[in-house]
A = this chain, B = another copy of it.
Amino acid sequence: MAEIVKVAVDAMGGDNAPGEIVKGAVDAVNADKRVKVFLTGRESVIKEELKKYNYREEQMEIIHAEEVIETGEPPVMAIRKKKNSSIVKAMYLVRDGECDALVSAGSTGAVLVGGQVIVGRIKGVERPPLAPVIPHMNGVSLLLDCGANVDARPSQLLQFAKMGSVYMESVIGVKNPRVGLVNIGVEEEKGNALTKEAYPLLKNCPEIHFIGNVEARDIPLGGADVLVCEAFVGNVVLKMLEGVSGALIQKIKDGMMTSFRSKMGALLVKPALKRTLKDFSTDEYGGAPLLGLNGLVVKTHGSSRAIEIRNSILQCIAFKEQKINQKIKEQVVLED
């Protein structure tokens, strides 16, 4: 039988905690016997939530944590001071080897800082990138870095490309993923100092399948499987994707409500549209991994519901079984 994958879940983090988080954890253990979840947070509250569900008790454990780190708190300070918070407790479970992975919908800053400071980087990894899966016309791409540290070095972009390729191939299941450098033109000499220096590093790296520069316009068309950029650009790409989709879908809904005729039409197209737009959502892929750490740290959206928490937990199975960190170590060692 396969080894049990132990996942610490921050039960108190996110807009819908603890209700949706606990529900997601229950759904995950009910979906797969290979997972054991450690819910960190206020025991009494979590127990109350768990009472609502049926699940195999040997797959669920509560680790009491009195404090909660709020989204607005300065992360470095919060991580240092709130040793007894649900995020920090979950981080220690991973650092001490009691869990393989952790999932949190809480403060992004605290997850990024805690991941680096408590869980720690794999030796040789310069900067652990936050790598959300984003939708495109015919599938998904991995976008990295979307973290909090801007102004990456060219060598860091190369590491992002390698770690992203491993993840995309082994966890998401895209064979020989195409790596693209997010840039303002397709020609090699286009861009800023960072992209100009990173281009030859990517081109000359035999471990990845580099296809050159990718313009932002081609990202929603699936221009590359692994999109490499520094975090300021990654943030703009990610938030434009969310913002434009949201605004346009709202516009279309409003447009359909403008006349009797269009309202009738809306009723008829609704089921088909819902299916189509579901393709343009990434909920089923779970949260964004912070790659290159001694363990898997997954950050899910602050507004995550049970489905996203469930899938983020289940994603940890592939991460462990596919030995992602072993592969990342090999890639990083290769370059030394």
Residues of B within 8 A of A332 (CB): none
Choose, from A26-34, A41-49, A243-251, A295-303, the stretch at the interface: A243-251
Residues of B within 8 A of A269 (CB): 255-256, 262, 265-266, 269
CB distance from A220 to the nearest CB of B (A): 4
The chain B residue sitting closest to A223, CB to CB, is B243
CB distance from A277 to the nearest CB of B (A): 7
Most buried by B among A182, A237, A243, A273: A243
A232 at the interface (CB under 8 A from B): yes
* B247/A136 in contact, CB under 8 A: yes
Partner of A244, one of B231, B245, B259: B245
CB distance from A250 to the nearest CB of B (A): 7
Q: How far is the CA of A240 from the CA of B229 in the complex (A)?
A: 14
Interface size class of A (residues with CB under 8 A): 35 or more
Residues of B within 8 A of A247 (CB): 136-137, 220-221
A266-279: CB near B (< 8 Å → 1, else 0) gives 11111111011101
Residues of B within 8 A of A238 (CB): 216
Cβ < 8 Å to B, chain A residues 9-68: none
* A243/B220 in contact, CB under 8 A: yes
The chain B residue sitting closest to A229, CB to CB, is B236
Residues of B within 8 A of A258 (CB): 272, 275-276
Question: How many copies make up the complex?
Answer: 2
Residues of B within 8 A of A254 (CB): 276
Residues of B within 8 A of A218 (CB): 243
* A236/B243 in contact, CB under 8 A: no
A149-184: CB near B (< 8 Å → 1, else 0) gives 011000000000000000000000000000000101
* B184/A236 in contact, CB under 8 A: yes
Partner of A231, one of B184, B217, B219, B265: B184
Cβ < 8 Å to B, chain A residues 99-134: none
Residues of B within 8 A of A237 (CB): 216, 236, 240
A239 at the interface (CB under 8 A from B): yes
* B248/A221 in contact, CB under 8 A: no
* B243/A272 in contact, CB under 8 A: no
* A236/B240 in contact, CB under 8 A: yes
Question: With A216-B240, A220-B244, A233-B236 given, can you name 20 additional A-B contacts, CB distance below 8 Å?
Answer: A137-B247, A151-B192, A184-B235, A216-B237, A217-B240, A217-B242, A219-B243, A233-B233, A236-B236, A244-B244, A251-B279, A252-B252, A252-B273, A256-B272, A258-B275, A258-B276, A259-B272, A261-B271, A265-B265, A266-B268
User: Sorted from nearest, which 7 A-B pairs have the closest CB atoms?
Assistant: A265-B268, A255-B276, A265-B269, A262-B272, A216-B239, A240-B240, A220-B247
A sample of 26 inter-chain contacts (CB < 8 A) reads A136-B247, A216-B236, A216-B238, A217-B239, A217-B240, A218-B243, A220-B246, A220-B248, A221-B243, A233-B236, A236-B237, A236-B240, A240-B240, A251-B280, A252-B277, A254-B276, A255-B272, A256-B269, A258-B272, A258-B276, A259-B272, A261-B272, A262-B272, A265-B270, A266-B268, A269-B269
